Structure 1
Amino acid sequence: MKNFIKILVLFCVFTHASFAQEVKLGKVSKEELKEKIYAKDSTADAAILYRNIKVSFVYVESKGFIIEREVHERIKIYNKSGFKHGTIVESLYQSNSTRESLTGLKAYTFNLVGDEIEKIKLKKSDIFKEETSKYYKKEKFTMPNLKEGSVIEYNYTVSSPFYSSFNEIILQYDIPIVQQEIKVEIPEYFSFKNMTKGYLAYDINRSSKAGSITFTNKNRSSSGYVTKTDFSSSKIDYKINVSKVQMKDVPALKEEVYVNSMNNYRAAIKYELQYVKFPNSSIENYSTTWESVVKKIYENDEFGKQLDIKKYYKENLSKVLAGKTSETEKLEAVFTHVQARMNWNNIYGYSTDEGVKKAYDLKTGNVADINLMLVSMLRAAGLNAKPVLVSTRSNGVPLFPTRYGFNYVVAVVNTNGKSIFLDATSKYNKPNMLPIRALNWAGRIVNEGGLSSSVSLLPDHKSTESVMMMASISNEGNLEGKIRRNCRDYVAYKFRINNSELAEDSYLEKLEEAYNGIEISEYSIDNKKIPNKPVVENFSFNLEDAAEILGDKMYVSPLLWFTQKENPFKTEKRDYPIDYGYPWEDKHMITIKIPEGYQVEFIPQSINVSVGDGLGNFKYSLSKTPIGLQISSSLSLNKAIINPQDYQGLKDFYTAVIEKQTEKVVLSKI
């Protein structure tokens, strides 16, 4: 894992001496408006021309220190695809009556009209607020009058009373950044740990400066009937630690295939509070170790306390467990009950939203409402159940101790010498099959009292798709036959997620298109919505022009539309792990009857090729039969995550697979 998080020197670091002066808001040039493409990346649909972020701690009397993040960005829009960068979104945290706020917004769109610069100011009607959960709201604005060639510019300030962990500072976008300056100013009373991620090189220039707080004191004195008020002031001086990052020509973060979340590899700096030490006060420790992090989470009333609330389900649980004697029977019964009763509201979190009792009554809740309830019920059934803190794939991997790295919780039961993971938020998974969103390397098991241990979340068994086909080719090169398709585990889970709510006609249209335009008839499906059984499809099909006829020869692709025609790995090198989510295997057993009057002139040689030390395997064999051809193919990847150092081997493996699968059988007239 250390190889995954080290910073690779890919780009030049620019010093203070070479950095341009600060850009002033509203002073856009004609040259910027006339620019047609970004010279260093002609594929970019937009580019950040200038970006300045300043984070500082400001003392507010009666409130204490708050964090202010000042944002100033100027963006060039090159084409219509870049219009999406004209909508800016800030996610603001709130807890009870304490909340973050966005103030001082100024935003403009600039266009070149003739030889004149047109400047259009953002209207209040273009600003929207949206409550996304109990803890977050979004404030977003869409820039007016966007055109190809527009330059947009905005600045605003986000104020936050939550200084224990301020937002990760992004250093790399999905579009290039021409120049940027990041400055963070932290009073000496706060000790933060810097955590960096990504594959860009940059320097952090550190310095310090003086700061002070002035207090106004009001004193009242009475003499007879006269009350006198005197004002005095006092000042405290302190040191401010300053960190500055200056960068030029920051490349866009390019999407790659089979990555759990590109945000895991986006260049960024995260500041995690270790402790606070004010004058004449004791040290207040925050997240310095995994033990302290998990203990704080466990002691939260919306986490640990919820595990002990049991009265609300006692009567129903007795009915659920009736006649169940083994641990496996009890586990499956409790899981099925919670999964069937509860409906996830699509809100993540390791802290309950409604609370387990209210959520149970309402039959809906967030992830913690449902899965902490599940843990409690499993314990009440006599099982050794514990919560597991998880960061979803979209949230990134918490490589360092942090409360804010987790955004999800699941259950684990130790039974019969095995650890069984459970998540009742999805209707289509089963015991020991977490939803794909939660398959993110490792989680932390939370024990009584808040002690914890790391546990791998990666599946170790292969999910399979098996296809059996009996078909025949006509003299005109048309193909007809029958198919039986069997999907197990995560392949079945993905099928159900994507297709269970589709009408059959809509699904068959999608399947026909995916299978090279075949026509499907006599379709049937078993276990479409039963999570603990494989999805089994049976249907008849026909396909015109399945074989290519040239003169007296017929050319047939043995795997037909199941042939992989393109290598998914195209780049010369790979910096990120290849993440399939789960091990998998595709199997095909195909029997093809050839037309009368034809014989098999050529069949490709069989092959058995592997990649790495047991990472994957491809077996492919063809043989003649009295009526035609027998094809057997098995392609498997045996690990959910493959290290970047194995990238070239995997790329070559896919090349060998494609070369073999695209070889054609040659039939000739007798």
Structure 2
Amino acid sequence: MTIDNNFKSNKKIYILISLIFISTFLVAQNNDYGKVSKEELLQDFNSIDSTASAAYLYKYRKTYFNYVSGVGFSLITDVHERIKIYNKEGFEYATQKIRLYKDGNEIEDLNKLKAKTYNLIDDKIEETSLKKDGKFKNEISENINEESFTMPNIKEGSIIEYKYSITSPFIFNVDEFIFQHDIPVNKIEAFFETPEYFVFRMNVKGFLNVMPKREQFNKSLDYTQRVASGGTTNAGAGQGLGRTTQVRGNVKYVSNVISFDLNNIEPLKEEPFVNELSNYRSGVKYELSYTQFPNSSKEFYSRTWEDVVETIYKNPSFGDELRKTNYFKEDLDVIIKNLTDEQEKINTIFSFVKSKVKWDQSYGKYTRKGVKQAYQKGVGNTAEINLMLTAMLDYANLEANPVLVSTRSNGMPLFPTREGYNYIVSSVRINEGIILLDATSQNSLPGVLPIRALNWEGRMMSKNGKSTIINLYPTNKGSIQTFQNITLSGNGTAVGKIRNVYKGHQAMSFRDEYGKDKQKSYLNQLVNNNDGIEINNFEVKNNNELAKLPIESFDFTAESEIDVVSDKIYFSPLLFLATKENPFKQEKREFPIDFSFPFENISTTIINLPEGYRVESIPEAMAIALPNGMGNFSYAINNVGNVLQLKVSKKINYPVVPAEFYPSLKEYYSKMVGKLNEKVVLTKI
């Protein structure tokens, strides 16, 4: 006992000394390129997160304006990063991908790239430089190129280091300064330097306490320009031919520098039910507010939402496309000729668009080929399909308007900007309220948007140029109703039948998972997710009839859910359907809990007990609720003769639960999981 305690004590002291050593080393380390030390290479874990597979030892970024005489301003971003790789899981960081934007002849350029891998071999630092065969170029889209590189000679314990510059003609578009990653960051130095002519607004996101330092410096730039010098060269003709002269000059100006010096940044880790993790990643985004050059008035770039809506609506690939009707009039007139009910019109037009035009999997708020070509070819992007849908609904004398959406992967627009929205859905107003529609998804229904579009709020655009914020989350619950009939045997085997009825978003999710060419993978997943049960007579009804609820049914045999010990049998009444663990394990949480949509799962179970056994004990009934009516759980089991009757109800009434209620939600799930896994005890008679 004494030896064991001494060992534990010494181990604690060793870890403490190691952490102190590492912390001291971090302060003293040399961050200049190429100055990697043996101490860095000897690190076998990170003091911020000992489980990390890799870590940024150092991140440097400086973005600034450069003036070239006779050409103008460009935006330069210098990057220098040093990454420690602790194990094989960290090898992914040996490949870096850099996206470069282009618009016509204007293209961002990656230059001055140099990179090295460092390894400690026989107590000596071995350096391996990046070669040409480790560099790659790829065209992602018509507006995005990608340059990537993969570092050579990667091993567990390696350090990679690289630096490069990006020259951009897009001086009004400053890439976000990202401070938080999926791995820890030991140190960040970041600078944003702008001449006084460009005034930017800073928008901070995430939960880090970011305190920028602001400084001003006096600088100057040389310029060259041509000015008219007057004079004539042909007086006899009565005409003066103007001449220009090249004039050189120097302008003094104030340079504004915002800098960040951050240390010991914890990684942003995945948690269950997060909308899009990058939405909460700490960083800073800059938006150009206005420019004011010498002897000129201010030119404002910051927009109101009214400005944004007007600009988007006036774009020929939006407003003009929305007003086109000739390409569908003849077909639509036949389809809606005898329809008078609004809901019937909506359903019919919605189904017609989905059958007529398939989604090409590309996002966009503007059309690419145009609605007419999409209609004729039978394929289009989100804008072409949903602007077409809106135009048809409007043509049918329904109050329809397009809705700007930022998809989950695109984040939330924090300030008025056209780039903040990348998606379009349609809306139609009826007496009961506004219905949202998205015809890009074959399994969606009116009022049931694809999950990708359920991202807080959208902006509904009306013909008068105004816009209105509209909640994208549904109020109607998606539901699963489960019916089970189970027969137990004395040897610990359970056979039974299950029927699941899906509704709303749960129906759409089921159809997406069990879609065309997915049946085999769905069945494999069903078996694997349910403790390897044996499934027979699997059947799905109404899968392709969207007006009806899909019904899934199958027979099963389960052998791992029941324990037979001597003359007793122990089992959880829900068998493999019982939630086995609480998904919420973190002590605290800063992000909202996003369930995507409100839902209810109700299960009714009949359990036929084996002959020769009686019930010794059953779980007690339970009813618990979340604060503010956010959800509730109930569990009730009864023993009637040789049968157990169980009813379980789980409801979450809000699609998003604020982070402040996380402790309550964690406790709620803990109690629910505990109850679902309580055992029934049977005793042999």
Partner of 2:137, secondary structure, is: strand
Letter in 2 for 1:374: L
Given the alignment, which residue of 452, 455, 469 partners 1:454?
A: 469
Given the alignment, which residue of 232, 253, 277 partners 1:262?
A: 277
Letter in 1 for 2:218: A
Indicate if the aligned counterparts of 1:286 and 1:293 stay in contact, CA closer than 8 A.
Answer: no
Q: Aligned residue for 1:355?
A: 370
CA distance, structure 2, for counterparts of residue 255 and residue 503 of structure 1: 27
* 1:488 matches 2:507: no
CA distance, structure 2, for counterparts of residue 169 and residue 302 of structure 1: 32
Letter in 1 for 2:480: E
| Between 192-201 and 29-38, the greater mean CA deviation after superposition | 29-38
Q: Aligned residue for 1:377?
A: 392
* 1:204 matches 2:233: no
CA distance, structure 1, for counterparts of residue 466 and residue 596 of structure 2: 28
- 1:124-164 per-residue CA deviation (whole Å, 9 max, x = no partner) reads 33222222233223222222221111111111122222233
Deviation (angstroms), 1:390:
1.1
Q: How does 1:93-108 map to 2 (within 5 A)?
A: 93-108=101-116
**Distance change (3 Å), C-alpha of 1:66 and 1:230:** closer
Letter in 2 for 1:95: D
Given the alignment, which residue of 30, 34, 39 partners 2:38?
A: 30
**Distance change (3 Å), C-alpha of 1:111 and 1:99:** same
Given the alignment, which residue of 122, 130, 135 partners 2:138?
A: 130
Q: Aligned residue for 2:310?
A: 295
Given the alignment, which residue of 304, 312, 315 partners 2:330?
A: 315
| Between 295-304 and 175-184, the greater mean CA deviation after superposition | 295-304
Given the alignment, which residue of 557, 562, 573 partners 1:558?
A: 573
Deviation (angstroms), 1:300:
2.2
Q: Aligned residue for 1:415?
A: 430
- 1:333-388 per-residue CA deviation (whole Å, 9 max, x = no partner) reads 22112222222222222122222223333322222222222222222222211111
Q: How does 1:277-288 map to 2 (within 5 A)?
A: 277-288=292-303
Indicate if the aligned counterparts of 2:486 and 2:496 stay in contact, CA closer than 8 A.
Answer: yes
Letter in 1 for 2:49: D
Partner of 1:36, secondary structure, is: coil
CA distance, structure 2, for counterparts of residue 533 and residue 153 of structure 1: 58
Partner of 1:180, secondary structure, is: strand
Q: Aligned residue for 1:512?
A: 527
Partner of 1:369, secondary structure, is: helix
**Distance change (3 Å), C-alpha of 1:83 and 1:530:** farther
- 1:61-80 per-residue CA deviation (whole Å, 9 max, x = no partner) reads 45432211111111111111
Q: Aligned residue for 1:173?
A: 181
Given the alignment, which residue of 407, 431, 434 partners 1:392?
A: 407
Q: Aligned residue for 2:674?
A: 659
* 1:50 matches 2:58: yes
Q: Aligned residue for 2:22?
A: none
CA distance, structure 1, for counterparts of residue 153 and residue 67 of structure 2: 39
CA distance, structure 2, for counterparts of residue 40 and residue 211 of structure 1: 40
* 1:213 matches 2:221: yes
Q: Aligned residue for 2:23?
A: none
Gap runs ≥5 in structure 2? 1-25, 235-242
* 1:577 matches 2:595: no
Partner of 2:316, secondary structure, is: coil
Indicate if the aligned counterparts of 2:402 and 2:427 stay in contact, CA closer than 8 A.
Answer: yes
Indicate if the aligned counterparts of 1:527 and 1:534 stay in contact, CA closer than 8 A.
Answer: yes
* 1:633 matches 2:641: no
Partner of 1:338, secondary structure, is: helix
Q: Aligned residue for 1:113?
A: 121
Deviation (angstroms), 1:409:
1.5
Partner of 2:141, secondary structure, is: coil
Letter in 1 for 2:399: N
CA distance, structure 2, for counterparts of residue 408 and residue 69 of structure 1: 29
- 1:582-623 per-residue CA deviation (whole Å, 9 max, x = no partner) reads 011111111011111111121111111111121111111000
Deviation (angstroms), 1:445:
1.0
CA distance, structure 1, for counterparts of residue 247 and residue 37 of structure 2: 50
Partner of 2:317, secondary structure, is: coil
CA distance, structure 1, for counterparts of residue 420 and residue 142 of structure 2: 18
CA distance, structure 2, for counterparts of residue 375 and residue 324 of structure 1: 18
CA distance, structure 2, for counterparts of residue 486 and residue 229 of structure 1: 81
**Distance change (3 Å), C-alpha of 1:545 and 1:47:** closer
* 1:593 matches 2:601: no
Partner of 2:412, secondary structure, is: coil
Q: Aligned residue for 2:148?
A: 140
- 1:1-27 per-residue CA deviation (whole Å, 9 max, x = no partner) reads xxxxxxxxxxxxxxxxx9879722222
* 1:649 matches 2:657: no
Gap runs ≥5 in structure 1? 1-17
CA RMSD of aligned residues (A): 2.3
Q: Aligned residue for 1:251?
A: 266
- 1:438-484 per-residue CA deviation (whole Å, 9 max, x = no partner) reads 11111111122532111111111111111101111112121112111
Percent identity, aligned pairs only? 43
Given the alignment, which residue of 379, 404, 408 partners 2:419?
A: 404
* 1:235 matches 2:243: no
Q: Aligned residue for 2:548?
A: 533
Letter in 2 for 1:590: T
Given the alignment, which residue of 56, 59, 77 partners 2:85?
A: 77
Letter in 1 for 2:596: G
CA distance, structure 1, for counterparts of residue 206 and residue 592 of structure 2: 13
CA distance, structure 2, for counterparts of residue 650 and residue 281 of structure 1: 57
Deviation (angstroms), 1:578:
0.7
**Distance change (3 Å), C-alpha of 1:260 and 1:414:** same
Given the alignment, which residue of 195, 206, 219 partners 1:187?
A: 195
Indicate if the aligned counterparts of 1:109 and 1:143 stay in contact, CA closer than 8 A.
Answer: yes
| Between 192-201 and 328-337, the greater mean CA deviation after superposition | 328-337
**Distance change (3 Å), C-alpha of 1:497 and 1:473:** same
Indicate if the aligned counterparts of 2:48 and 2:265 stay in contact, CA closer than 8 A.
Answer: no
